[in-house]
Amino acid sequence: MYNIIICEDNEQDIELLEKNIIRFFSEHDLTCNINVFRSGESLLNHSSVYSWDIVFFDVEMGKINGIEAAKQLRKADKSVKIVFVTSHPGYVFNSFIAEPLNFLIKPVNYPMLSEILEQALMRIDDEKGDVFTISFDNVVSNIPLSQIIYFESNLRIINIVTTDQTFKFYGKLDDIERELEGKDFIRCHKSYIVNLRHINMIDGDAIYMSNNSVISISRANKKKVKELVMDYVGKTVL
């Protein structure tokens, strides 16, 4: 299932784009969920970081145009694929700061949309191993591993602390540890799994993380943690 967003204020353009997206996924035997926002403001107010795969932005909208809305979304989500849709190709040169995947010129034609969707899905699928997927309150989030600082277990609730915010979901740290094996994460305590790339320093029984959090190392894990950290540092230096 791919989560697709259309941010557009023209009903005819929404209908045409939605129709062609549905056609593409049907022809490729894939499933997608499409949500429509009719302004940049509504999208930013309801955005669920890391839950969207592709966002189509109309460039010319109301108070917040598509480029500005995309820039703000990009600050929160580095992995979402952004496609600008416009009647004026000249806007393209103002949009690079949002790191768009591509551009569509109105009226949208199916061959061009199909080519862009194939490009987007290829990148999304290539990145699947670099995200941690959770579901909570009927919202699915694909969180880039590079942005996860640590996992914290609190009874049945797992907190995922990232560089931007904290996510919650129901789970077990033992299961997460198995899922992350070989991905530069380490279990340092019965209640914590930390990302090696976000460790600033180890001092005694404490790990100092990149967000200034201080996490304890259990006695049982102390030797293993220090060995793995030294091994990781050695690899990054080389």
**Above 70 in pLDDT, residue 207?**
yes
99-138 as b/e: b if 16+ CB within 10 A: ebbbbbebebeeeebbebbeebbeebeeeeeebbebeeee
**Above 90 in pLDDT, residue 29?**
yes
pLDDT, tens only, 149-198: 999 999 889 999 998 889 999 999 999 999 998 888 999 999 999 998 88
Looking at per-residue confidence, does 165 or 114 come out higher? Answer: 114
**Above 80 in pLDDT, residue 50?**
no
CATH fold match for the domains 2-130 and 137-237: no
In three-state form (DSSP H/G/I as H, E/B as E, the rest C), the secondary structure along the chain is CEEEEEECCCHHHHHHHHHHHHHHHHHCCCCEEEEEECCHHHHHHHCCCCCCCEEEEECCCCCCCHHHHHHHHHHHCCCCEEEEEECCHHHHHHCHHHCCCEEEECCCCHHHHHHHHHHHHHHHHHHHHHEEEEEECCEEEEEEHHHEEEEEEECCEEEEEECCCEEEEECCHHHHHHHCCCCCEEEEECCEEEEHHHEEEEECCEEEECCCCEEECCHHHHHHHHHHHHHHHHHHHC
pLDDT of residue 184: 85
- How far, in Å, CA of 233 to CA of 48, rounded? 34
Q: Which CATH superfamily is domain 2-130 in?
A: Response regulator (3.40.50.2300)
pLDDT of residue 49: 64
- How far, in Å, CA of 63 to CA of 69, rounded? 10
Domain spans in the chain, listed from the N-terminal domain onward = 2-130, 137-237
Q: Supply the mean pLDDT for the chain.
A: 86
Contact 158, 176 (CB under 8 A): yes
Mean pLDDT of 99-126: 88
Share of the chain above pLDDT 90, in %: 41
Q: Tell me the chain's radius of gyration from C-alpha atoms.
A: 21
Share of the chain above pLDDT 70, in %: 91
Of 7-11, 142-146, 219-223, give the range with the top mean pLDDT. 7-11
As assigned by CATH, the class of the 137-237 domain is: mainly beta
pLDDT, tens only, 119-146: 999 888 877 768 898 988 878 888 889 8
- How far, in Å, CA of 181 to CA of 103, rounded? 38
- How far, in Å, CA of 118 to CA of 194, rounded? 35
Q: Residue 90's pLDDT band (boundaries 50, 70, 90)?
A: low
pLDDT of residue 97: 64
